[in-house]
Amino acid sequence: MPKTQYYTATTIDGFIADAANSLDWLFEVGSGRADENGSNPFGEFFADVGAFAMGATTYQWVLDHEKLLDNPGKWHEFYGDVPAWVFTHRSLPPIPGATLHFVQGDVRPVHAAMTAAAGGKNLWVVGGGELAGSFADAGLLDELILGVAPVTLGAGAPLLPRRLSAQRLSLSEVVRRGEFAYLTYAVGAPTADA
């Protein structure tokens, strides 16, 4: 059965981006793209992804950091033809040749559209944390996959800017990949006290 997964890198102190919304901290330790055995955690994960969603800040950072308007082929190198939904309240430039849907509002109809487009594969919630939290609030997030990096930032964009109680989270896997600890949690449905 396909899953909706929030797969992300996080610092030990629970931030996914620094105070300037940058991921430069991640590239200082290596992105976890290849471990000491030469395997690629992201590649293995993304092989099962049929659609993904990201927030405007994440999209803007990738767009700027990778200079995708000048080099749109990089998007295809990263994500192939997998369709993406970008949640935004502002006008953002599309990447030529990328299958992008700019949306806003309730995640539920977008989740339904993503599921239809994914062809039986998993859905990836890229980030940020608020978007992943919105999927969790709607009972549409099945799994958290956290690549914990050996870095602390002290401030920045939080992994999930809301409470998910212990009753909703169940640790299902712990794996060491190089300097990263990958923690996978099953996410249960929301309850009145969660």
Strands 143-149 and 4-11: parallel
- Model confidence at 154, pLDDT cuts 50, 70, 90, reads very high
pTM summary value? 0.92
Q: Which fold has domain 4-187?
A: Dihydrofolate Reductase, subunit A (3.40.430)
The residues, ordered by sequence, that sit 6+ positions from 47 with a Cβ below 8 Å of its Cβ are: none
pLDDT, tens digit (0-9, with 9 covering 90-100), for 158-180? 999 999 999 999 999 999 998 99
Rounded-to-integer distance, Cα 182 and Cα 162, Å: 21
Domain boundaries, the chain: 4-187
Rounded-to-integer distance, Cα 78 and Cα 22, Å: 19
pLDDT, tens digit (0-9, with 9 covering 90-100), for 30-68? 654 555 565 788 999 999 999 999 999 999 999 999 999
With CA atoms as reference, report the closest residue to 188 among 154, 149, 142, 120.
Answer: 142
Q: Which residues pair with 125 in a beta bridge?
A: 6, 53
